[in-house]
Amino acid sequence: MAIKQQPKPPRSRVIGNILLLVSGLFLLVNLFLPGLFGSRPPQVPYSLFIHQVQEGEVSRVYVAQDQIRYQLKPQAEQPEQVLSTTPIFDLELPKLLESQGVEFAAAPPPRNSWFTSLLGWVIPPLIFVGVWQFFLNRGSGGGQGVLSIGKSKAKVYVEGESEKVTFADVAGVDEAKTELVEIVDFLKNPKRFTQIGARIPRGVLLVGPPGTGKTLLAKAVAGEAGVPFFSISGSEFVELFVGVGSSRVRDLFEQAKKQAPCIVFIDELDAIGKSRASNGFYGGNDEREQTLNQLLTEMDGFGGGDQTVIVLAATNRPETLDPALLRPGRFDRQVLVDRPDLSGRTEILDIHAKGVKLGPDVDLKAIATRTPGFAGADLANLVNEAALLAARNGREQVAQEDFAEAIERIVAGLEKKSRVLNEKEKKIVAYHEVGHALVGALMPGSNRVEKISIIPRGMAALGYTLQLPTEDRFLLSETELRGQIATMLGGRSAEEIIFNSITTGASNDLQRATDLAERMVTTYGMSKVLGPLAYQQSQQPMFLGNEAPNPRRLVSPQTAEAIDQEVKGIVEQAHQQALDILNHNRELLETIASKLLETEVIEGETLHTLLKQVQPAGEQLASV
């Protein structure tokens, strides 16, 4: 797909600019050089004028406020001459003129030359016409002038083989592609559907987390169908002035009708499509509401005949959209574009790795296994980050270790080797991270511990324990969730056992553990006291990997207290479980921590061999 070239400026715009330039030039000349086009008498000093009056050489004087013009008596050798001088405050001048018999009077108003008169009548209209033509053509020519404020800002893409996007460029969303193939078939051969009375959906809403490829899918539909593609963001409709957004909606659909069949893609639809009930009132003059009303009207009216215009829209917050947008006849169909599974991630990596020189040791499937929850944009960033690391290290090909380091940079952040810890802090961090690893190694359904490091990363992490899944998981049991909480508290528990004190290093672990325990009680119904009830109003779409906590619903004080007690009980039980495991394996804890202090990083088979020595404690024997 290639961006459509803007047309050349119209001839009328060039003429308008020339008129504006010429009229401005003549105006400046008339203001600053008024004598250029008209005759003015020679200027003489005032003292010479008085001397000529006293000598009887002056016959007639015309006195004005800023000039005195006088006429000399004709002489034999020269004709009558008119001169001028600048007056000064002189009360004796009338008496002098009268005593010399000089005829004097007030000066008549100056008469402009014919050219000056022409400038006065012609130039102002030319200036007005030139300025008007200039702004008019800026608005119609796609500029950002005053008159273009109501014009659509959509980018128009037309078919270009060099940059054409097709379904072959999209991977990991096979179900979504299957749904959109029907749209392509309709755009290519609409009679196949209309001859039997079928009607294609006017609007298709692509729903999914950020970075999953919603925009890329829309471009692929246009590329497969070979039709024009109008792309615009929802925020580009909304302006300060009420009515501008609705004007841009009208202009967008007018352009689309002229190039039908075509596709109109509106990204971030929730910017203009939020529920009108969220404003607290109906029927106001809010700019966003007026824009939404116009969009609803256009989607009702553009169908029919040969004007085949299909609207694709994308959002990651479908729950906030106005119900009028989602009713049949507008956005009839919702297509989920979720994060890819293992096979999808492998396909995406294969697409992005085509332009990268890969080493013989690179295993894309292994990389896909280590990146659950990564969206298409995350995987593209991963490939690019690995290529940058390889180039930085002076290699000609990207190796598997570059991908491993890139995953850590994305998940945990950049290494902060400049952040030097003292020996005491370094020892605390070492035992903290080993505590996470030992507890995580015994928990059922836990991810595999791949690396322990005490090299600071990111904004605040002084060390980290890297756990990577061995398979995609979509359901977790209560036992596995409790095991995750125990793993989060393993670091704090190790500090308590070894140092008999606690530090601030476990603050993030405590926050995550508390949030997970609260979801177990209020969302998942995993409390015997409160029963299978939901105490949260889940207004966010439950995409894969979306674990953002929701605000607790209004409950009675007794229920809120019961929730707090249940959450506390779950966390304390997991804390005790972690303490039991670490006390039972204290010798192994100190061995691994000492080795970590020496090497700073333990990973691979060395780490796996050490963790295989972890023994369950007490009650864990029956469950492991």
pLDDT of residue 435: 94
Q: Which of the four pLDDT bands, split at 50, 70 and 90, describes residue 537?
A: low
Q: Which two tokens stand for residue 211?
A: 């970075």
pLDDT of residue 1: 47
**Do the Cβ atoms of 311 and 202 come closer than 8 Å?**
yes
Give the domain range for residue 72. Answer: 46-106
Q: State yes or no: pLDDT of 162 exceeds 80.
A: no
CATH for 371: 1.10.8.60
Which has the closest alpha carbon to 144: 350, 6, 327? 6
CATH for 78: 3.30.720.210
Lowest mean pLDDT, pick from 42-51, 77-86, 132-141? 132-141
> Which of the residues are catalytic?
433
CA 338 to each of CA 165, 341, 470, 548, 551: distance values in angstroms, whole numbers, following the listed order: 20, 9, 20, 16, 24
Q: State yes or no: pLDDT of 372 exceeds 90.
A: no
Q: Which two tokens stand for residue 17?
A: 């600019």
Residue 41 resides in a domain:
no
Q: Which of the four pLDDT bands, split at 50, 70 and 90, describes residue 144?
A: very low
**Do the Cβ atoms of 269 and 314 come closer than 8 Å?**
yes
Residue 493 resides in a domain:
yes
Q: Which of the four pLDDT bands, split at 50, 70 and 90, describes residue 14?
A: low
More confident residue, 438 or 69: 438
Same-domain check for residues 211 and 331: yes
Same-domain check for residues 506 and 580: yes
Q: Which of the four pLDDT bands, split at 50, 70 and 90, describes residue 297?
A: confident
Same-domain check for residues 483 and 524: yes
Q: Which of the four pLDDT bands, split at 50, 70 and 90, describes residue 153?
A: low
More confident residue, 216 or 242: 216
**Do the Cβ atoms of 273 and 325 come closer than 8 Å?**
yes
* Helix, strand or coil, per DSSP, at residue 601: strand
Secondary-structure breakdown of the chain: helix, strand, coil percentages, each rounded to the nearest 5 = 50, 10, 35
Residue 416 resides in a domain:
no
Same-domain check for residues 364 and 497: no
- Percent with pLDDT over 90 in the chain: 20
Residue 40 resides in a domain:
no
Q: Which of 313, 336, 359 is the last residue of a domain?
A: 336
Residues 562, 535: Cα–Cα separation, whole Å: 12
Residue 265 resides in a domain:
yes
Size of the chain, expressed as the number of residues it contains: 624
Q: Which of 277, 304, 336 is the last residue of a domain?
A: 336
Q: State yes or no: pLDDT of 257 exceeds 60.
A: yes
Quote the mean pLDDT of the chain: 79
**Do the Cβ atoms of 83 and 68 come closer than 8 Å?**
no
Same-domain check for residues 454 and 507: yes
Residues 536, 545: Cα–Cα separation, whole Å: 18
Same-domain check for residues 474 and 610: yes
Q: State yes or no: pLDDT of 72 exceeds 80.
A: yes
Which residues are bridge partners to 203 per DSSP?
311, 331
Same-domain check for residues 386 and 452: no
CA 541 to each of CA 205, 278, 317, 338, 550: distance values in angstroms, whole numbers, following the listed order: 14, 18, 7, 11, 11
DSSP 352: H
* Average pLDDT value for residue range 154-179: 74
Same-domain check for residues 312 and 379: no
More confident residue, 109 or 479: 479
Residue 229 resides in a domain:
yes
Same-domain check for residues 370 and 275: no
Same-domain check for residues 377 and 449: no
Based on the structure, what is the number of domains in the chain? 5
Q: Which of 305, 336, 367 is the last residue of a domain?
A: 336
CATH for 445: 1.20.58.760
Q: Which of the four pLDDT bands, split at 50, 70 and 90, describes residue 6?
A: very low
Residue 417 resides in a domain:
no
Q: State yes or no: pLDDT of 146 exceeds 50.
A: no
Same-domain check for residues 301 and 195: yes
Site of tokens 């439950």: 542
Same-domain check for residues 397 and 471: no
Lowest mean pLDDT, pick from 18-22, 165-169, 186-190, 563-567? 18-22
Residue 251 resides in a domain:
yes
Q: What angle do CA 59, 60, 63 make, to 5 degrees?
A: 145
Q: Which two tokens stand for residue 603?
A: 């990973």
Residues 159, 177: Cα–Cα separation, whole Å: 20
Q: Other C-beta atoms within 10 Å of 44: how many?
A: 15
More confident residue, 213 or 106: 213
